[in-house]
Amino acid sequence: MMRQTKAKNTIMANNLTRKIFRSFVYFPLRLNMMRKNFDATFHINCNNHALGNDVLDLVTVACNNDYTIEQQYRLLNKYLADSFCYTVADNSSIPAKQQKILDICRKSNIAYIRLPSNPLTMGSVSGYSHGMALNWLYNKYIKPRAAPYFGFLDHDIYPVRRTGIKNALEHQPMFGCRQPFDETDTHINVWYLYPGFCFFRRDYVLGEVMDFTPNKGWDTGFSNWPLIYSKMDPAAIRFPRVSFHELSDGKDSPAYRYEIIGDWIHAGQAVFWDPSRQNLIARLLEQY
């Protein structure tokens, strides 16, 4: 999904509606999901045993788009300078797409986890599905692997120049896209990292609770504001520069917005790509 300052589901900005939803829908679903351990999931090419001492543990949540995984893996291997472990966590709601993602991971020997069932995957509260997936992955998979650096990527974010993450994390405890991204707005006194492009140093968050779900009308990842981000002055953190651009074939078809995040391209909205958008994005990525 493309980053937004406020959550897509604006009704969740209403305090009473949000409290009812979190109490009677989200919390029971979260409890049920967190009961499922890693060993009880279907997975290939991976385990949750401890990794080495100099590894970036990188996890992508896939959802209903196999093309994005194929391209992301290709471009990570080409441009990411860090030693990294790459895992695809499948949150797809369409079985045929799930199978295609699995086939790509089998073919390329990519680590693959089929996430526990999550009924919020599609629809106006899909941000909760994404946040619940990240919470499960952090607690059941990333923490036991104990890599010194870890992070999450959306499935439609790709490095397009030689780049690294670990160098940034050696100088600061986290790195990623700041939300809200207009840091000059003096009316906004909270901030958090967009959970589709966020990286952390393990020693900084070790022992802290992390929660990537939306809350208080803000989008996925905001629940980490009181837990993690409020303890850090954003002025002490270097964030990647962000700019927005449009893709068009120059004809009558609509133009599509995409984002450049430092050395990375965020194609955006990959769960909902139509053929014309995928063709334009394929042409863009062929340059790299």
pLDDT at 251: 76
CATH number of 10-240: 3.90.550
pLDDT tens digit string along 69-88? 999 999 999 999 999 999 99
pTM: 0.91
The parts of the chain modelled with pLDDT lower than 50 are 1-2, 4-11, 185-187
pLDDT at 60: 97
Which strand (E) or helix (H) includes residue 244? Answer: strand 242-247
Dihedral pair phi/psi, residue 199, rounded to 5°: -140, 145
Distances in Å between the Cα of 135 and the Cα atoms of 13, 118, 132 are 22, 12, 5
Dihedral pair phi/psi, residue 176, rounded to 5°: 160, -170
